[in-house]
Amino acid sequence: MPAVQLNSDVALGVAIPSRNARGRIARLGSVVDTVLASHNYPPVIEQLLAEALTLTALLGSLLKESQGQLTLQAQTEGGAIDLMVCDYLRGELRGYIRHDADLVAELPDHPTLEQLFGKGYLAITFDQPVAAERYQGIVPLEGRNLGEAAQSYFAQSEQIPSLVRLAAEKRDDHWHAGGLLLQHLPEGEEGRERLHTRLDHPDWPHVAILGGSVKAEELTDPTLPLDDLIWRLFHEEDEVRTLESIELKRGCRCDPAYVRSVIARFPEDERAEMVGDDGLIRVDCAFCSSSFSIEPKEVSS
């Protein structure tokens, strides 16, 4: 029996050494259900957040440091959504989407990114505190879905040929989401400056065709273990390896002490304005909808 089950709420590393390709595959089930249970989102927004959390899991599991954090943030103008934030820390995922309910109600069942976000940008931030490395790339939210936007991120910001597939579906009241990320990293690329990148390397189109043949129903099927799915896609390769797996959980970091420390950083006159009729400062966590009531004297300097 493997230590970690590879069916749901898990990310798995993948390598195809003979093609210089590496990547991650992830599937989410109860993590998505738990995140969405804190909100009361319309179906279109639930679908988008399920896909965004899957992308966050794929990108977060690329972090080399166990303490590293990955943040996905969409900044937008003139769309139905004005803010989307997801993050990843130690396998813990959380996220929320701020949107205009009236505009969302007018959207088609499968809206484009432009219909959702208007003129939007996706910022992807890799934060690795031990190496004191912080890297942020920004791409326009264009294309049919978040997977395509993420692909352009890697092509534009990092010059790495990449394939990103995301899928999410609600069946019998439960969400099933899955994603595949593959990248072409020619010899010696890992941890080294790239002198040039060959976007026309013959190995890559081959891997992209095999990876791109993955079906949405395979990505979201919790009865199909991720290692079996990788084998199904790449079994004709000389060698395909699965690497470490990371268990995924829903997690929020909004404990009362943290909320107090944030409030304490505001100047005294601004804190006074936050006090409600009941004499308390009320703070709601946008990620998990927890509500905190804080005594003003607890945070006074």
| Contacting positions for Zn ion (CB under 5 A) | 252, 254, 285, 287-288, 290
Give how far Cα 47 sits from Cα of 146, 175, 252, 256, Å. Answer: 11, 9, 20, 30
**Which two three-digit tokens encode residue 241?**
């390896």
Q: What is the dihedral of CA 169, 172, 173, 176, to 10 degrees?
A: -30
Could you tell me the smallest distance in angstroms from the CB atom of residue 287 to Zn ion? 4
Which residue, 34 or 162, is less far from Zn ion as judged by CB?
34
Q: What is the smallest separation between the CB atom of 249 and Zn ion, expressed in angstroms?
A: 14
Please choose, from the candidates 65, 284, 281, 29, the residue with its C-alpha nearest in 3D space to the C-alpha of residue 167.
Answer: 29
User: DSSP character for 275?
Assistant: B
Q: How far is the CB of 92 from Zn ion (least distance, A)?
A: 11
> Which of 92/148 has CB closer to Zn ion?
92
**Shortest distance, CB of residue 296 to Zn ion, whole angstroms?**
21
Please list the residues that pair with 139 across neighbouring strands: 122
Spell out the residues 6+ positions from residue 270 whose beta carbon is closer than 8 angstroms to its own: none
For residues 50 and 285, which CB has a smaller minimum distance to Zn ion in the complex?
285
- In the block, tokens 């026309």 appear at 200
Which stretches does DSSP call E strand in the chain? Answer: 10-16, 21-28, 69-75, 81-89, 92-99, 121-128, 133-140, 162-171, 174-184, 241-247, 249-250, 281-284, 291-294
β partners of residue 282: 293
**In whole angstroms, how close is the CB of 13 to Zn ion at the nearest point?**
29
Q: List the beta bridge partners of residue 167.
A: 178
For Zn ion, the closer CB: 234 or 287? 287
CB of 126 or CB of 287, closer to Zn ion: 287
Altogether, the residues listed in the chain come to a count of: 301
Q: Shortest approach of Zn ion to residue 35 CB, angstroms?
A: 11
In the complex with Zn ion, which residue's Cβ is closer, 107 or 285? Answer: 285
For the bound state, the minimum distance from the C-beta of residue 284 to Zn ion, rounded and expressed in Å, comes to 9
Could you give the CA distance from residue 163 to residue 180 in angstroms, rounded to a whole number? 8
d(CA 26, CA 279): 46
> In the complex, what is the shortest distance from the CB of residue 267 to Zn ion, in angstroms, rounded to a whole number?
25
Of 167 and 288, the one with the shorter C-beta distance to Zn ion is 288
Q: Which is nearer to Zn ion, 60 or 147 (by Cβ)?
A: 60
Taking CA atoms, 263 is separated from 198, 242, 252, 254, 286, in Å, by 50, 45, 18, 12, 15
